Structure 1
């Protein structure tokens, strides 16, 4: 518990980065929204749970992979942080570019025959696990939270906490956007939200690049 308290600022930064990363619709969120609007709330929730489970899997793979690498080659931590920082700056650029665009979000139902909830769960999981950007995002998130010499419990706290947030946020999207009016309300404030997200990721990326521990 004392270790977690000492590393809490890093854990909180990892939580914040993850929370803001899924707050703005990307392909996975748009799939949840489109399914909720086109098929119904239960199917949207099932897809959301699949996406959240995929995110949890990526988090575990990243944590154990980075932990193994850093155990053998501790000097690689700086290189990993540089890589993660560059990715966060790239995300900031994408958000700023999107915020400057007048193009609204497009939430569409996934193509193919309609499925039972278990089928939508599987589809959501596959969507997340076949998304190469998820791996890059998790390298950045774990790198933000793990300082040099941090105990393994810090990584576990990041994974468990982000998994709970992932379930809450994805399911919330499925429930909220089961009616078209919510998509219209979000589109009205989209540019401001994405501008704020771009600023956060730019600052987080610069912080990671400036970190030496």
Structure 2
């Protein structure tokens, strides 16, 4: 059968088999990783419970955009550039570590405050652009994300696959990330969940501050690696 041509001279060979074992395994691994509790998901949960659905959705969109940006850059080969220019990796790690520690301090201060405020800035009064920028910043200041994406691309590509197929892997993983992040925002902004948050606010914020601090220290500790 002759090869089917797509608009823009893109052939069907660019798209990998959607049911290939390698892609299925990569998507399963990515889904487990992105849905696991971490700084990003905890931030979405905190924004949803303290600031409501609107705040959480905008923050989740920013986090997703930041994650997808690293994925696209990984597919384009940025990892090789960052490995070659070590100073760029060090600078991003220091910036990311400092940003995470800043978030940890603000959330810890919230936990010790008698007022139920979202000191990370994700309450209902925050403008959308600020929430979006905060989510972007959480991911774009973490250079390790590009290597996580690189490993997903390597897992998802079958032997002998064209380099352009990496973008298909990123698109599939990005769809999963969108579902997970938006799902967290919707579920944890439900009235019952928000009422529960009012009872566990201090404990939850201390856990979230610890997660931010751990992520920050790990970035700073490995800045020269």
Query: Do both proteins adopt the same fold according to a TM-score greater than 0.5, normalized to the shorter chain?
Result: yes
In 2, distance between residues paired with 1:135 and 1:68? 10
Q: 1:18 to 1:110 in 2, by over 3 A?
A: farther
Q: Normalising by structure 2, what TM-score? A: 0.57
Contact residue 35 and residue 110 of structure 1 kept, 8 A: no
| Structure 2 CA distance for aligned equivalents of residues 120 and 4 of structure 1 | 35
The whole-number CA distance in structure 2 between the counterparts of 1:29 and 1:153 is: 30
Higher relative contact order (CA 8 A, sep 6+): 1
- SS, match of residue 178 in structure 1: coil
**Count of aligned pairs:** 149
2:120 equivalent to 1:111: yes
Task: Give 1:144's aligned residue.
Answer: 155
Selected match of 2:76 from 39, 42, 64: 64
Where does the alignment leave 5 or more consecutive residues of structure 2 unmatched? Answer: 1-11, 82-110, 112-116, 197-225
Please report the TM-score for the alignment, with normalisation by the length of structure 1.
Answer: 0.60
Shift of 1:132: 3.1
**Residues 92-143 of structure 1 deviation map (CA, whole Å, 9 limit, x = unaligned):** xxxxxxxxxxxxxx9x945248521221011101111112332231122112
* C-alpha distance in 2 between matches for 1:21 and 1:7: 20
Shift in CA distance, 15/6, structure 1 to aligned 2, threshold 3 Å:
closer
What pairs up with 1:67-146 in 2 under 5 angstroms? 109-112=118-121, 115-146=126-157
Does structure 1 residue 177 correspond to structure 2 residue 197?
Answer: no
Matched, 1:166 2:177: yes
Equivalent position to 2:28, from 13, 16, 22: 16
Q: Quick check: 1:27 aligned with 2:36?
A: no
Runs of 4+ in 1 over 6 A off after TM superposition: 66-69
